[in-house]
């Protein structure tokens, strides 16, 4: 009975087998001896097997191999068995007559083997590959062990498409790039590739030294954003962070002053606002996040000026409300820093100073529009509404896209807008920012004026000048302003005077520029189409604007006393509104239905616009370009929501 149990538990070598083997070795065994031997052999086999399992465990396998067993045999000073090392299963064959099983052991013809021509190819090289990734410990929502669905549905064709597109966009050939971008913009079957493209775009961080590549990547963002068939979902966040990177980070490329990273930042800012206005509703709180990070950069004095510049243009691009909320309250604090940079005439500071002027210009543009828009929002809604209705000839759809530029709060975006008037009202009411008390326009103007002085005033008052003949306002204001300047007995103020007049001279001239050649921001402007004119023009006018602006903040009270009285009542009454009407008309003229091209959002055609227009919109300090900028600016605000 015990025997039977034993048999069930272990493989047994029968005494007959032992006898047989002994016979084959030429030894005659008695039954007793054979039985004892058999038992011992069994035991030894079990022992060896147990030992061999240790080798298996340490080799981190589940399969016991012949090799393991041989090692165990070697441990116990037994000869290893040769010839069974093959990975394949060994054929175990029965022999009927002897109830005998054996492993087939065919003879191998060595000569044949040696001379065989079909030499097996060497097995592939052992390699290490990074494979499954669980990002932030996630990816587990999907069935475990499977690849993410997007990857799963990735056919070869798609993969090829992806490769071609990325290669074309990041490659050398500009024409090919355009084609690729266009396709990316209109292809309806690339949803599965979205994560890949987003990933590629997130590569901006690794090519911060290469403006060209950054530009290409940004264009890729634009194409993706404009593709009506793509649902960006939470990838918006990733895209925004890539774009923000281009706007805010002190790119490696900016070390070389010859690199025009400013343009890149402007473009990225534009793109940011575009993404935000078209897809902002996909991610809640995005607007606030963006504002917050922009504010953070702006309030960080350690950051280089180009970052600050990025923050300013970013705010500007997000609309005047953003400027009012973030930039304006922060200006007094920031001003002191900027001033310090601008006042340093040392040679070593030249570069930084030039950067400072850029920032200065950007701020100027931003606040200028802020004032304008604010003034506009304050005018009776009838007027504004009329103007708006004129403008929004493109229809409600067109309006929907364009209105956010005027009133940033993202909430209205989600609900169907009724008309621009309602938006304006909503915007004027300050909407969701209850905690923030809006500064009255006059007060704001006063304060801003204390910073920017003449340059600001010119901007403000030239608006009306466009429509009417040479306005009396500006002249008045200049006179009024001159008084505090000279009263302070400031050397600079005296220097400032002739420049101011020069400024005046130019302003009438500008009316041609916006009309004949309106300069809406051109998103479609390719990387090649950028002009450096802006920077060169800025350098010529630097001294003036700097000196005028260099009036320290503490002298502001002085000017404030005089200024509102002399300055404000007239403009508040009519001129701002007037200028708006003109602008609106202009806009209306330009915003014909033909502008809306893509199927899901009727956006104005971008490619058709001359690239240099884009360049003009960039903030510049020089007088020459100022009026123009002034115009492009108002354009800009209306065109923003492309």
Partner 1 sequence: PTWLNTTNEIARIFTSILRAFVITQVASALGKMATVQDGPTDPESEKETKPDILSDGSANLPGLTSGALSTSPVTAPSTGTSKPEDQQTLLAVLQFLKRNNLTESVDILRREAGLSDEADDTQGAEAGGGGLGTGASVGAESGDANSLLSRVSIGTGASQNTVASTPAKGGEDQPDVSVVLSAYSQQGDPSLYQVYYSGLKKFIESVLDCHRAELSQVFYPLFVHMYLELVYNNYENEAKAFFEKFSGDQECYYQDDLRVLSGLTKKEHMKGNETLLDFRTSRFVLRISRDSYQLLKRHLQERQNNQIWNIIQEHLYIDIFDGMPRSKSQIDSMSGSLAGEARRDANKTKVFYGLLKEPEIEVPLDDEDEEAENEEGKPKKKKPKKDSMGSKSKKQDPNAPQQNRIPLPELKDSDKLDKIMYMKETTKRLRLSPETLPSICFYTFLNAYQGLTAVDFTDDSSLIAGGFADSTVRVWSVTPKKLRKVKSAADLSLIDKESDDVLERIMDEKTASELKIMYGHSGPVYGISFSPDRNYLLSSSEDGTVRLWSLQTFTCLVAYKGHNYPVWDTQFSPYGYYFVSGGHDRVARLWATDHYQPLRVFAGHLADVTCTRFHPNSNYMATGSADRTVRLWDALNGQCTRIFTGHKGPIHSLAFSPNGKYLASGSTDGRVLLWDLGHGLMIGELKGHTDTVYALKFSRDGEILASGSMDNTVRLWDAIRAFDDVETDDFTAATGHIHLSDNSQELLLGTYLTKSAPVIHVHFTRRNLLLAAGAYNP
Contact residues for partner 1, defined by CB under 8 A: 2, 5, 9-10, 39-40, 43, 46-47, 50, 54-55, 57-62, 67, 71, 75-76, 87, 123-138, 140, 144-145, 205, 208, 249-252, 300, 302-303
CB of 312 to partner 1, least distance (A): 18
Spatial contact of 550 and 492, defined as CB atoms under 8 Å apart: yes
- Nearer to partner 1 by Cβ, of 41 and 354: the residue is 41
Alpha-carbon gap, residue 276 to 286, rounded angstroms: 8
- Nearer to partner 1 by Cβ, of 194 and 244: the residue is 244
Please count the other Cβ atoms lying within 10 Å of the Cβ belonging to residue 21.
Answer: 15
CB of 22 to partner 1, least distance (A): 19
- Nearer to partner 1 by Cβ, of 200 and 297: the residue is 297
Alpha-carbon gap, residue 63 to 607, rounded angstroms: 65
- Nearer to partner 1 by Cβ, of 244 and 587: the residue is 244
Radius of gyration of the chain (CA): 39
Nearest 5 degrees, angle CA 308-CA 310-CA 314? 120
CB of 40 to partner 1, least distance (A): 7
CB of 252 to partner 1, least distance (A): 6
Please state whether beta strands 92-95 and 100-103 pair in parallel, antiparallel, or not at all (unpaired).
Answer: antiparallel
CB of 102 to partner 1, least distance (A): 25
- Nearer to partner 1 by Cβ, of 202 and 432: the residue is 202
CB of 87 to partner 1, least distance (A): 8
Please count the other Cβ atoms lying within 10 Å of the Cβ belonging to residue 407.
Answer: 24
* Count of all residues that appear for the chain in the document: 642
Task: Count Cβ atoms within 10 A of the Cβ of residue 567 and give its class: 0-12 exposed, 13-18 middle, 19 or more buried.
Answer: buried
CA distances from 42 to 9, 20, 30, 49 (A): 12, 16, 18, 10
- Nearer to partner 1 by Cβ, of 264 and 591: the residue is 264
Q: Which residues pair with 102 in a beta bridge?
A: 93
- Nearer to partner 1 by Cβ, of 28 and 32: the residue is 32
DSSP label of 301: T
Start-to-end C-alpha separation, the chain? 91
520's tokens? 């809406």
- Residue matched to tokens 């024409």: 175
- Nearer to partner 1 by Cβ, of 164 and 238: the residue is 238
- Residue matched to tokens 């070389």: 256
CB of 66 to partner 1, least distance (A): 12
CB of 451 to partner 1, least distance (A): 26
CB of 205 to partner 1, least distance (A): 7
Alpha-carbon gap, residue 161 to 114, rounded angstroms: 48
- Nearer to partner 1 by Cβ, of 72 and 313: the residue is 72
Q: Which residues pair with 390 in a beta bridge?
A: none
């Amino acid at each position: 009975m015990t025997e039977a149990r034993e048999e069930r538990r272990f493989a047994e070598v029968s005494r007959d087998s032992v006898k047989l083997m002994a016979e084959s070795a030429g030894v005659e065994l008695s039954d007793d001896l054979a039985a004892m031997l058999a038992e011992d052999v069994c035991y030894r086999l079990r022992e060896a097997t147990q030992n061999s399992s240790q080798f298996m465990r340490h080799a981190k396998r589940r399969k016991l191999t012949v090799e393991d067993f041989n090692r165990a045999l070697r441990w116990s000073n037994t000869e290893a068995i040769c010839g069974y090392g093959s990975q394949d299963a060994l054929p175990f064959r029965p022999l009927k007559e002897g109830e005998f099983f054996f492993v087939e052991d065919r003879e191998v013809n060595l000569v044949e083997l040696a001379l065989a021509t079909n030499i097996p190819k060497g097995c592939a090289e052992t390699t290490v590959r990074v494979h499954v990734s669980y990002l932030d410990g996630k990816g587990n929502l999907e069935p475990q062990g499977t690849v993410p669905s997007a990857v799963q549905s990735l056919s070869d064709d798609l993969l090829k498409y992806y490769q071609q597109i990325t290669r074309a966009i990041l490659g050398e050939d500009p024409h090919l790039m355009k084609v690729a971008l266009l396709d990316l913009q209109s292809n309806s079957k690339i949803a599965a590739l979205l994560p890949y493209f987003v990933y590629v775009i997130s590569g901006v961080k690794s090519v911060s030294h290469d403006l060209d590549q950054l530009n290409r990547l940004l264009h890729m963002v634009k194409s993706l954003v404009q593709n009506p068939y793509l649902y960006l979902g939470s990838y918006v966040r990733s895209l925004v962070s890539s774009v923000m990177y281009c706007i805010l980070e002190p790119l490696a490329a900016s070390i070389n002053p010859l690199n025009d990273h400013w343009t890149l930042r402007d473009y990225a800012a534009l793109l940011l606002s575009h993404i935000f206005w078209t897809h902002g509703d996909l991610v809640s709180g995005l607007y606030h996040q963006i504002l917050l990070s922009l504010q953070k950069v702006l309030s960080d004095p350690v950051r280089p000026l180009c970052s600050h510049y990025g923050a300013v243009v970013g705010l500007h691009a997000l609309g005047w409300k953003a400027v009012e909320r973030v930039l304006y309250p922060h200006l007094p604090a920031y001003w002191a820093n900027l001033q310090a940079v601008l006042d340093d005439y040392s040679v070593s500071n030249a570069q930084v100073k030039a950067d400072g002027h850029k920032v200065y210009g950007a701020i100027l543009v931003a606040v200028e529009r802020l004032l304008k828009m604010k003034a506009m929002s304050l005018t009776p809604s009838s007027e504004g509404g009329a103007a708006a209705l004129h403008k929004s000839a493109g229809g409600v759809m067109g309006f929907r896209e364009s209105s956010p530029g005027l009133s940033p709060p993202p909430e209205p975006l989600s609900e169907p807008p009724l008309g621009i008037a309602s938006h304006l009202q909503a915007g004027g009411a300050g909407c969701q920012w209850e905690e923030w008390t809006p500064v009255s326009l006059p007060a704001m103007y006063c304060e801003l004026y204390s910073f920017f002085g003449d340059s600001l005033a010119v901007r403000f008052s030239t608006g009306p000048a466009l429509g009417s003949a040479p306005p009396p306002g500006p002249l008045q204001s200049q006179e009024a302003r001159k008084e505090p300047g000279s009263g302070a007995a400031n050397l600079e103020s005296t220097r400032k005077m002739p420049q101011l007049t020069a400024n005046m001279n130019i302003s009438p001239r500008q009316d041609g520029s916006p009309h004949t050649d309106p300069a809406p921001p051109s998103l479609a402007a390719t990387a090649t189409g950028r002009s450096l004119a802006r920077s060169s023009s800025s350098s010529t006018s630097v001294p003036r604007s700097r000196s005028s602006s260099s009036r320290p903040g503490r002298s502001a009270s002085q000017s404030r006393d005089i200024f509102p009285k002399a300055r404000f009542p007239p403009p508040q009454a009519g001129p701002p509104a007037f200028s708006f009407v003109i602008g609106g008309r202009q806009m209306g003229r330009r915003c014909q239905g033909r502008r809306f091209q893509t199927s899901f959002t009727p956006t104005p055609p971008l490619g058709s616009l001359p690239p240099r227009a884009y360049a003009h919109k960039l903030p510049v300090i020089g007088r020459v370009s100022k009026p123009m900028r002034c115009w492009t600016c108002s354009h800009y605000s209306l065109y923003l929501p492309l």
